[in-house]
Amino acid sequence: MPTGVAIRDVRDQLFSAAERVLLRAGPSALTSRAVTAEAGCAKGVLHRHFADFDAFLAELVLDRVARIDDQATALRESAGTDTVADNLTRALMDLFGSVAVALVSLVTSRDELRAQLRKARPTGVPVLTDAATAIASYLTAERDLGRIAADADVDTLAPTLIGAVHMLFADRHSTPPEAGAVRKVVTAVVAGVQGEPLR
């Protein structure tokens, strides 16, 4: 793109370009040059909007984490509908069917990015921690409705679900698992606390 031409929604354009590079070629291919080339703009555009490349990546991760908050709201509002297993399966398929797995790989592969993220989020791995919080909130709502046991430890169940399902999705070169495989994991994890029959 020629210098001096305004780019509308430059942050979104750069974030989308970064996602495409990340999904196509993995964290090691994610450079400022790769992102700006993918976005079709001059390299200086990124540096005019962000202090450095790791600051850009941190903003990308935090922006995508905000989307999990939207998913969390929808999941929490589904409490009391359908089955617990079906609601969790859909939510986990949506979460891990997105760029989330690639973002986790990115965060774990870049020390400077983790340092940037620690300023805003001192504990946990962004995306996975946020997803676990969303699942725990949903399970709490279901516990309040009596659809899972009153003594269910939602703070243990949530990260267990996230970790187990993340393992199904973690190999980005293979075909993603089908809903049935995710539901099998969900059913195994929540079976002991289920207050309703799994259908």
All structural domains of the chain with their residue ranges: 1-49, 63-193
pTM: 0.83
| Tens digits of residue pLDDT in 87-136 | 999 999 988 877 888 888 899 889 889 888 888 877 888 888 999 999 99
3-state SS class at 186: helix
Cα 158–Cα 63–Cα 80 angle in degrees, nearest 5: 35
The pLDDT-based confidence of 199 (bands split at 50, 70, 90) is very low
Give the Cα separation of 48 and 46 in Å (integer): 5
Least confident of 5-19, 91-105, 155-169: 5-19
Burial of 81 (0-12, 13-18, 19+ CB in 10 A): exposed
Q: Name the CATH superfamily, with its identifier, for domain 63-193.
A: Tetracycline Repressor, domain 2 (1.10.357.10)
> What are 178's two structure tokens?
């089908």
Of the CA atoms within 13 Å of residue 20, those in its CB half-sphere come to: 13
Q: How far is CA 107 from CA 3, 47, 141, in A?
A: 32, 20, 30
pLDDT at 92: 94
pLDDT at 173: 66
Q: Which class is 1-49 in CATH?
A: mainly alpha
Least confident of 1-5, 41-45, 75-79: 1-5
49 and 108 Cβ atoms separated by less than 8 Å: no
Q: CB within 8 A of 55, min separation 6: which ones?
A: 116
